[in-house]
Homo-oligomer: A and B are copies of this chain.
Amino acid sequence: MNLKYNKELEQKYSYLSRTINEEFINIHPIQRGGLLTPEAHKALVAYADGYSLCDNCLKGRIDKIENPPVVDFLDDLSKYLNIENVMPTAAARKSKQITMSVLAERYPERKVVVVDSLAHYTTYLAIETNKLKVKEVPHKGYPEFKLMNEDFETIINQVREDEGELPLLVVLTHVDYKYGNYNDPNPIGEICKNYDIPFLLNSAYSGGILPIDCDDANIDFIACSGHKSMASSGPIGLLGFKDKYYDDVMVHSQIQGNLTNKSFSNKICTFMGCPPVYGAPLITLMASFPTIVKRTQKKFVEEESKKANYVIEKIQKIQDLKVLGKLPKVHPLTNVETKCFEEVAKSHPRRGFFLRDEFKERGILGLLPGISKEIKFNTYGLTWEQVKYFADSFVEIAEKYNLV
């Protein structure tokens, strides 16, 4: 070993602390939905050790653990999402990768995945790592970046014509990372059903924030993210899938040791035995689940939309500022084009960092460092007092630079 234990090492790693804490208002676009509930905080401390969830594992499979109630939980999740099966995965990206992989085995002649053009980079990487091809469905461009349902059908037909085969899969980003646009899965599910093409809803930003009914929307596969939108410490994803694909997903091991004859037919290859969510990721997801079910009820969802739309209304008086994406907001992830602040940055000694500084001085964290030409924020779960304070601070900063 070239590394010796010393005081320097201790200094560097033994006192890790975080700047963003409860003293600040955190408006980080991808963090709001993942913040732990008080129940999850308690569970996290109780199950801090890596294999804590497996204390009473009797069957060698995390999805079969009864104490804590993992079996019940997966069953409840499947009711919640209204899809027949749910398995935990390492993350939503893994759920997408698995879906494409099992479909590529089932339909080896189909090589193209149709995705909306607001898809997350991990959707593209899932396609790439499965050696498949991407075909994008266009959006309508600035400023709304809207998807048109009929374009999905057009692209499906194009693929069929160009490839002589149907697409392997259609992926819809339920709420996208960039503009926070909400896309209704039902019309796309209907199209996929008519063409008999599997349909995946990527709900990494929405599952746990907005209600989802997979059966109603003809969704075959759904990818969720515990750490993004379900108040889990994570990383953890969910893969929901219809019974039709049960055997494709739940592939039991068949390998056998040539000398020992050891075999592992109980283990699922797709998840390498047990998906890597043994302790904190799964237990915090479970502990937050009652809150998740509660907060995706209509009245709470509408209240959260109101918060984002309130901020948007308040900041309209700022010059050279434009809210991007579809309005009014359904999901509170919001992208604002701030040419006004970009202009300020040009002559500010701190350049683009001035904006983050200004917010931080006012106790608000979560802005992308160095970026002044756009602000992405998320008001999810803030109190009304915090929402109002955030809107006021936004306007106050603009006033300071004579932009109102």
Residues on A lying within 8 angstroms of B by beta carbon are: 1-5, 9-10, 12-21, 28, 30-31, 34-36, 39-52, 54-56, 58, 68-69, 72-73, 76, 79-82, 90-91, 93-94, 97, 117, 121-122, 124-129, 134-136, 138, 211-213, 226-228, 232-235, 237, 253-255, 257-260, 262, 264, 267, 269, 272-273, 276-281, 283, 286-287, 289-290, 293-294, 296-297, 365-366, 369-370
Contact = CB atoms under 8 A, between A and B. Distances in A.
Given A16-B47, A50-B234, A124-B262, 19 more contacts: A1-B296, A5-B290, A13-B287, A16-B42, A16-B43, A16-B46, A41-B48, A44-B44, A91-B272, A91-B276, A121-B262, A124-B257, A124-B264, A125-B253, A129-B272, A134-B257, A136-B259, A138-B259, A280-B281
Contacts of A255: 124-125, 127-128, 134
Given A94-B276, A121-B273, A287-B13, A233 B49 contact: yes
Given A55-B18, A276-B90, A10 B290 contact: yes
Given A50-B232, A51-B28, A136-B260, A76 B126 contact: no
A296 B5 CA distance: 10
Nearest to A31: B51
9 contacts: A4-B293, A13-B69, A13-B287, A19-B56, A41-B45, A117-B257, A136-B259, A235-B278, A235-B279
A125 B274 CA distance: 11
Count of identical protomers in the assembly: 2
B48 A36 contact: yes
Contacts of A258: 134-136
B290 A14 contact: yes
B20 A253 contact: no
Nearest to A44: B48
A50 B79 CA distance: 25
A234 B286 CA distance: 17
Contacts of A3: 76, 79-80, 293
A325 B55 CA distance: 24
A199 B90 CA distance: 27
A255 to B, nearest CB: 4
A9 B138 CA distance: 42
Contact of A279 (B47, B135, B234): B234
